[in-house]
Amino acid sequence: MSTPEGDLIPLTSISARPADLPAAGGPGLVDPVGRSIYYLRISVTDRCNLRCVYCMPEEGVPWLPKEEVLTLEEIARVVRVAAQMGLRRVRLTGGEPTVRRGLVDLVRWIASTPGIEDVAMTTNGIALAGMAADLARAGLRRVNISLDTLRPERFRAITRWGDIGDVFAGIEAARRAGLRPIKLNVVVMRGINDDEVVDFARTTMDEDWEVRFIELMPFLDEEVSCAKGESTFDLQFVPTREVKRRIEAALGPLEPAESGSGAGPARYYRLPGARGLVGFISPLTETHFCATCNRMRLTADGKIRPCLLTDHEVDLKGVLRSGADDEALKGAILLALRTKPDAHHLWDGNRPRWRKMVQIGG
């Protein structure tokens, strides 16, 4: 059923059945192509304290009314029920998760949920310095910090009003709190920050960070260049192979390595003698990128999104607020699982249209 907001899948098409659920301690739910799905990314808010150029229009986006956002108790219930079905890992995102009131309490509830083995968070780091210790005590294990430049002036240009000093204070607070390894997410954009990929990789020589270079994804409405017929996305996109080639030309060969934590899509490497790791996340140029997908997403307004890069969603909020029991909630989660595509189809022109990245949670 298509809606003005996207493709909302009707809940009447499925119900939970015991055969759909994994054995206790099993690997999680299994999707139609045999992938084990045990990882849920939860957007706790659509709001953000920055306006990064690749994530949100400069004028921002209309914020969800408070009553449309899942309560902390509703999020905790989804996690509890999903954990009974095989969920093992949770990542909190936004918008920017640190702007959500009650975040520390939510982390504590999720971390104490039977079956949950790992709670992590992706943040821009701006407010992390004042929260890292409390989050760690509540049960947060790790943080991924979005940082697209090492230059203060450029940071302000990319984020439109941020102070890079706040991010480095957050990184240090996370280190002291034991939120490790610290992962830095760098979205590479031609003409904006691609000249810093070597500088970022060089930081892993002395720091035990995991610096992950992420290919730009098409989430903003794109203006088309009349001269060449190319969109803004086409002009800014930098493939992983180019980033890797630049790093190796400047710093030496990258040897395959493994991260000691996480269950994400990055492929890791290490420079000779480096303390940290260099990672690459290549959703557009890695042929088998989707083959190992292990996750689904829950938006701030209560929609389960089986794939980041399509507009198909299942409405959990409607189930949560209808007075339905846990079995009905399991049925909605199973519906999302069964409609998870085998892969995204970006190069076929099937791109997410109606939500910006900030409205999904990445």
Instruction: Name all domains of the chain by residue range, CATH numbers in brackets.
Output: 2-359 (3.20.20.70)
Task: Please tell me the predicted confidence (pLDDT) of residue 21.
Answer: 43
Three-class SS state of 96: coil
Task: Please tell me the predicted confidence (pLDDT) of residue 330.
Answer: 96
Task: Please tell me the predicted confidence (pLDDT) of residue 318.
Answer: 97
Q: Bridge-partner residues for 40, per DSSP?
A: 90, 296
Task: Please tell me the predicted confidence (pLDDT) of residue 294.
Answer: 92
Task: Please tell me the predicted confidence (pLDDT) of residue 13.
Answer: 44
Strand blocks (E) in the chain: 2-3, 6-8, 29-30, 36-37, 39-43, 89-93, 118-123, 142-146, 183-188, 210-215, 255-257, 267-270, 277-281, 295-298, 303-305, 312-315
Amino acid type, 284: L
Preceding omega of 361 cis (within 30 degrees of 0)? no
Whole-angstrom CA distances from 258 to 236, 270, 277 are 29, 9, 8
Task: Please tell me the predicted confidence (pLDDT) of residue 311.
Answer: 74
Task: Please tell me the predicted confidence (pLDDT) of residue 132.
Answer: 98
Whole-angstrom distance, CA of residue 52 vs CA of residue 107? 26
Contacts of 115 (CB under 8 A, 6+ apart): 83, 84, 86, 87, 88
Token readout for 187 is 């979205």
Token readout for 321 is 């607020």
Contact between 294 and 36 (Cβ < 8 Å): yes
Helices (H), 89-151: 103-111, 132-138
Q: Burial-class residue 322 by CB neighbours within 10 Å (0-12, 13-18, 19+).
A: exposed
Preceding omega of 97 cis (within 30 degrees of 0)? no
Amino acid type, 298: L
Whole-angstrom distance, CA of residue 159 vs CA of residue 55? 9
What is the CB neighbour count within 10 angstroms for residue 323?
A: 7
**Ramachandran assignment for 328, one of left (phi > 0), alpha (psi -120 to 50 degrees), beta (any other):** alpha
Contact between 36 and 27 (Cβ < 8 Å): yes
Contact between 105 and 75 (Cβ < 8 Å): no
Token readout for 303 is 């929609």
Q: Burial-class residue 196 by CB neighbours within 10 Å (0-12, 13-18, 19+).
A: middle
Task: Please tell me the predicted confidence (pLDDT) of residue 249.
Answer: 98
Whole-angstrom distance, CA of residue 56 vs CA of residue 3? 22
Q: Please tell me the pTM assigned to this model.
A: 0.87
Token readout for 115 is 């079956």
Length of the chain, in residues: 362
Q: For the chain (length 362 residues), average pLDDT per consecutive 10?
A: 50 44 54 93 94 76 92 98 96 96 98 97 97 98 96 94 96 97 95 97 97 82 45 84 98 93 85 97 80 91 86 92 96 93 65 55 56
